[in-house]
């Protein structure tokens, strides 16, 4: 099992080019199934979650070719509508194939998804919505059997929570349904807009993505196209946290600054100066950060839950005490025990974490508990005194492309063993 070795307390400086968005790439690659044609996807990040998604496309019969960050998918010969358990377990987001498989084949058979254990990851909203679109669903012994004998028809769907995955599955299924589908209380994340843009380039008729109500007019059929994936705002926020934690000065390049509108004020409150320049952000950090009084994670455009762990890590050595409230996932503080092993002072009360800044962290042997928790431990290792060893970096490789390379290029002492 490979691990990362970090010698801390080196100020980061230079430029980091941010990868394509993982949480855009996964639904967009699944969407290529809908076309029965050839599609070209650019700026696709090199991640194990992308590899898992491509394995599923190949398994159902697509021809897939990767050339750097360009992925070519021909889904003409796809002919399977079941996904075996080992492929479903590789990552939680394999549930995103439910919509495309039913829309393409009129049936789907999946086991319950695996992935990061951030708490129970229910899919009740996905299944409720698909039933409204005309899907008959039976769930037993961990297997989800879906059939749409009369095909899919439009529906009015109101989500009790603006679930990203449920919004995506509905868009994927409804874009070739008979009639119009209206989603109210839809997720508004930039990745939803990116998926809508891609589907519309395939010939779908989707409007309102990024607002609370999304309207999908069912199209006869979709055809292949070319699409470039948006930059990964969570990877960008994570690298900003690494720069801030080390008192560094880093240009975060190839991003959409407006996707970070809820994150930039947190860095400014902690004492960093943040300058936006076109498609990059220059972050300049003080030697020691100030505590940030209050951070609460919310659906977009609120503060993103995925940025909570790395930003908590950077605040462990800030001056003062701050409060973080994690409102999206029930169990997204698994990185706290690793941070405490490194000397952090964090008190947990349910959704609330009280972070009391300490003068410094010290290196330790820790294990990544999940994807963003792993990023938090990297941020902590970069600012800790001495050597940190991070095991379980397979979690980190799910969402960060060449993390040790990008950080070494801006002065970090980090290597993969
Ligand atoms: C997506 O997960 C992202 N993953 C997550 O990123 C991200 O944290 C999350 O959205 C929130 O922004 C991908 O896009 C692949 P949700 P998803 O459905 O779709 C509850 C990362 O680190 N819920 O918006 O699973 C659920 O339990 C990952 O890159 C239901 O109750 O998120 C959770 O509490 C982690 N019923 C909340 O909604 C449902 O049917 C948010 O879930 C679905 C969700």
Ligand 1 pocket, residue 203 CB under 6 Å? no
How far away, in angstroms, is 359 Cα from ligand 1 center?
35
From the CA of 125, give the closest atom in ligand 1. Answer: 40
- The CA distance from 42 to 293, in Å, is 40
Both tokens assigned to 119: 């708490």
Domains 4-19+232-416 and 22-228 share a fold: yes
How far away, in angstroms, is 164 Cα from ligand 1 center?
6
Q: Which of 44, 116, 198, 383 is catalytic?
A: 116
Nearest to 175 by CA among 216, 123, 224: 216
Atom 30 of ligand 1 has which residue's CA nearest to it? 122
- pLDDT for residue 81: 97
**Residue 161 to residues 126, 170, 183, 184, 411, Cα–Cα distance (Å):** 11, 14, 12, 10, 42
How far away, in angstroms, is 161 Cα from ligand 1 center?
10
Ligand 1 pocket, residue 93 CB under 6 Å? yes
How far away, in angstroms, is 120 Cα from ligand 1 center?
10
Ligand 1 pocket, residue 334 CB under 6 Å? no
Ligand 1 pocket, residue 126 CB under 6 Å? yes
Ligand 1 pocket, residue 297 CB under 6 Å? no
* String of DSSP letters for 30-45: HHGGGTSSEEEEES--
- pLDDT for residue 114: 57
How far away, in angstroms, is 197 Cα from ligand 1 center?
21
Pairing state between β 156-158 and 180-184:
parallel
Ligand 1 pocket, residue 24 CB under 6 Å? no
4-19+232-416 topology per CATH:
UDP-n-acetylglucosamine1-carboxyvinyl-transferase; Chain (3.65.10)
Ligand 1 pocket, residue 26 CB under 6 Å? yes
Which numeric CATH code is attached to 22-228? 3.65.10.10
Query: Would you call 272 a catalytic residue per the annotation?
Result: no
Q: The whole model's pTM is what?
A: 0.97
From the CA of 371, give the closest atom in ligand 1. Answer: 22
Ligand 1 pocket, residue 21 CB under 6 Å? no
49 close to 23: Cβ distance less than 8 angstroms: no
Domain ranges of the chain: 4-19+232-416, 22-228
Task: Choose one of 21, 22, 23, 131 to mutate for the ligand 1 pocket test, by most ligand atoms within 8 angstroms of C-beta.
Answer: 23
Atom 3 of ligand 1 has which residue's CA nearest to it? 23
- The CA distance from 393 to 396, in Å, is 5
Atom 22 of ligand 1 has which residue's CA nearest to it? 306
- The CA distance from 283 to 273, in Å, is 6
Ligand 1 pocket, residue 194 CB under 6 Å? no
How far away, in angstroms, is 248 Cα from ligand 1 center?
32
| Count of Cβ atoms closer than 10 Å to residue 105 Cβ | 18
What average pLDDT values come out for the chain (417 residues) when binned by 10 residues?
95 98 98 98 97 97 97 98 90 91 96 67 92 95 92 98 98 98 98 98 98 96 97 98 98 98 98 97 98 98 98 98 96 96 98 98 97 98 98 96 98 97
Place of tokens 């199209």: 219
What digits encode the pLDDT tens for the residues 259-312? 999 999 999 999 999 999 999 999 999 999 999 999 999 999 999 999 999 999
Ligand 1 pocket, residue 165 CB under 6 Å? yes
> What's phi and psi for 237, nearest 5 deg?
-65, -35
* String of DSSP letters for 149-162: TT--B--EEE-SS-
Which bin fits 128, alpha (ψ -120 to 50), beta or left (φ > 0)? alpha
Atom 1 of ligand 1 has which residue's CA nearest to it? 164
């Amino acid at each position: 099992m490979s691990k990362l070795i970090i010698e801390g307390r080196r100020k980061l400086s230079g430029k980091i080019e941010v990868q394509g968005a993982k949480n855009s790439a996964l639904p967009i690659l699944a969407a290529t199934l809908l076309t029965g044609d050839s599609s070209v996807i650019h700026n696709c990040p090199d991640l194990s979650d992308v590899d898992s998604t491509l394995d599923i496309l190949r398994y159902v019969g697509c021809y897939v070719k990767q050339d750097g960050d360009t992925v070519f998918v021909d889904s003409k010969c796809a002919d399977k509508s079941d996904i075996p358990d080992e492929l479903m377990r590789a990552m939680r987001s394999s549930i995103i194939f439910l919509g495309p498989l039913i829309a393409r084949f009129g049936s789907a058979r999946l086991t319950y998804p695996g992935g990061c254990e951030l708490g129970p990851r229910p899919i009740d909203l996905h299944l409720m919505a698909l039933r409204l679109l005309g899907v008959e669903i039976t769930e037993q012994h961990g297997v989800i059997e879906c059939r749409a004998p009369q095909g899919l028809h439009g529906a009015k769907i109101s989500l009790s929570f603006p679930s990203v995955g449920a919004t995506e599955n509905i868009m994927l299924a409804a874009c070739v349904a008979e009639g119009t589908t209206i989603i109210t209380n839809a997720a508004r994340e930039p990745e939803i807009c990116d998926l809508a843009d891609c589907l519309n380039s395939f010939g779908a008729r989707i409007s309102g993505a990024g607002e609370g109500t999304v309207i999908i007019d069912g199209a006869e059929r979709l055809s292949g196209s070319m699409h470039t994936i948006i930059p990964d705002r969570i990877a960008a926020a994570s690298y900003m946290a690494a720069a801030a934690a080390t008192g560094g000065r880093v240009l975060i390049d190839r991003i959409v600054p407006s996707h970070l509108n809820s994150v930039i004020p947190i860095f400014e409150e902690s004492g960093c100066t943040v300058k936006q320049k076109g498609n990059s952000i220059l972050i300049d950090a003080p030697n020691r950060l100030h505590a940030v009084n209050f951070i609460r994670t919310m659906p977009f455009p609120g503060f993103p839950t995925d940025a909570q762990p790395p930003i908590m890590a950077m605040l462990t050595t800030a001056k003062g005490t701050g409060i973080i409230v994690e409102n999206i996932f029930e169990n997204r503080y698994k990185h706290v025990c690793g941070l405490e092993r490194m000397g952090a002072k964090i008190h947990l009360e349910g959704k609330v974490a009280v972070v009391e800044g300490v003068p410094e962290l010290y290196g330790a042997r820790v294990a990544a508990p999940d994807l963003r928790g792993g990023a938090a431990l990297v941020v902590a290792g970069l600012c800790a005194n001495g050597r940190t060893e991070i095991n379980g970096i397979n979690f980190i490789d799910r969402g960060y492309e060449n993390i040790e390379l990008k950080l070494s290029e801006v002065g970090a002492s980090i290597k993969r063993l």
